[in-house]
Structure 1
Amino acid sequence: MPTDASARFRLVVVAEALRLFAEKGYEATSVDEIAEAAGISRRTFFRQFRAKEDVVFADHEILLSQAADFLAGEHDDPWDAVREAAVLIFDGFSNWRDITQRRYGVVHEVPALRDREIVTIFRYERLFTDYLRRSLPDEPDLVLVQFAATVTATHNYLLRRMARDGSRTTTRELRDVLGSIGHGWRTASDDNMVVAVFPRDMSSRRVAELVQRKLDAQ
């Protein structure tokens, strides 16, 4: 849970807003009703949020900020840092499971919110990609983009499953899945031998697939 008082306050408002959206519908719920349910004034609401739409994704803003702060620290392995940032984000949503599940239902009923969700998800991917570009300037850009996109997509798949089906994926399970995501591989060969170098965390199944593909191409 966030330790910042402002973040905790925003989550209270988010929880009440999503409860009202689920009960009454997004369009039928007014800012005044949200403010009353959260025990704040209309003016206080607009000091924290520009519009109703911002309330729906306020927890995303909190987690994006936390992930950015995490990546701004010192890390021995940038690839692992991105994985851990994804785990941090997932852990936040898991702690706020009620909010996550209610938003899933609300967003899928309102096209404008679905569009906003797509933009918000891309911000995680861009955060990861920009970090990798700064940390690994000599790596091919396509490798960095693919890795960031894969980590983001894996995280989002498990998050949607949790929100939609109530799946209880743990952060340890998420780490295991993310650990199987490789970030590039190289092979060298002559007529009788193939020498391959893979990331340590690449799964044995993926290694076998890539070696077989290389052999088939000979």
Structure 2
Amino acid sequence: MTATDSEPQTSADVAGFRMHVVAESIRLFSEQGYDATTVDEVAGAAGTSRRTLFRMFHSKEDLIFVDHESLLAEVADLLAATDADPWRAVCAGAELVFAHYDKHRDLAVRRYAIVSQTPALRDRELVTTYRYQRLFEDFLRDRLPCAAPERIVGFAAAVTGVHNYVLRSMLRGEAGGGAEHLDVELRLLCDALIP
């Protein structure tokens, strides 16, 4: 697609195009560095205009973190629709996020390298991580109004922390960085912390 071509029309077209833009941006950020790569270069590599790029992503940082918005919505939908034990539902939400990154592992590995090298992106990642934790806390408070607040906060933080540790292990290619390991650790966490 070029800047003069029509924009994607269906949601599948839009999703595919967004992933194409993200892949191109991460490729350029890997080759040139995040700070050295301009939005115009990303737009050119993706075959679109700067205007379309900003309409879809709003900022250069959003090119790195775009899937978090949709993942947060998916996790919220999963939690809202569940009849399962709320504590275990939170674990299922963490596993949903992990599965997304496992499915797109090559892209996730390259993105992790960029984020690791860019202080502003590391800060944004911390904020994003807290948004998942807060979603888990809010869900548990809603479903378990009699549960101790510190137990809710502690559990949500522990699930988020374990998820992030195992995810980073996977992205670094370390042993123990797989979905099976995450499942085992979350089960142990449930056994230890669920009243």
Give the count of matched residue pairs: 184
Which residue is equivalent to 1:204? none
TM-score by length of 2: 0.87
Relative to total residues, which structure has the larger helix share, 1 or 2?
Answer: 2
Which residue is equivalent to 2:69? 61
Which residue is equivalent to 2:25? 17
Structure 1 residue 165: Cα displacement: 2.5
Distance 1:62 1:167 in 2: 29
Residue identity (%): 50
* Conserved? CA contact 1:143–1:184, under 8 Å: no
Distance 1:164 1:153 in 2: 16
Residue identity opposite 2:30 in structure 1: A
SS at 2:117's partner residue? coil
TM-score by length of 1: 0.78
Residue identity opposite 2:102 in structure 1: S
SS at 2:190's partner residue? coil
Structure 1 residue 9: Cα displacement: 2.6
SS at 1:129's partner residue? helix
Which residue is equivalent to 1:207? none
Which residue is equivalent to 1:71? 79
Larger radius of gyration: 1
SS at 2:84's partner residue? coil
The alpha-carbon distance between structure 1 residues 168 and 183, as it changes in their structure 2 partners (threshold 3 A), is: closer
Structure 1 residue 132: Cα displacement: 0.4
Which residue is equivalent to 1:160? 168
Structure 1 residue 172: Cα displacement: 3.2
Residue identity opposite 1:37 in structure 2: A
Residues 33-66 of structure 1, C-alpha deviations (whole Å, 9 max, x = no match): 1112122221210111111111111122221121
Distance 2:113 2:178 in 1: 22
Structure 1 residue 183: Cα displacement: 6.9
Residue identity opposite 1:86 in structure 2: A
Structure 1: stretches of 5+ with no match in the other structure: 186-197, 200-218
Which residue is equivalent to 2:190? 182
The alpha-carbon distance between structure 1 residues 166 and 52, as it changes in their structure 2 partners (threshold 3 A), is: farther
* Conserved? CA contact 1:143–1:183, under 8 Å: no
Equivalent residues in 2 for 1:1-218 (5 A)?
5=12, 6-165=14-173, 169-182=177-190
Distance 2:165 2:15 in 1: 26
Q: Cα RMSD (Å) of the superposition?
A: 1.9
Residues 93-137 of structure 1, C-alpha deviations (whole Å, 9 max, x = no match): 111112211111111221111111110111110111110000100
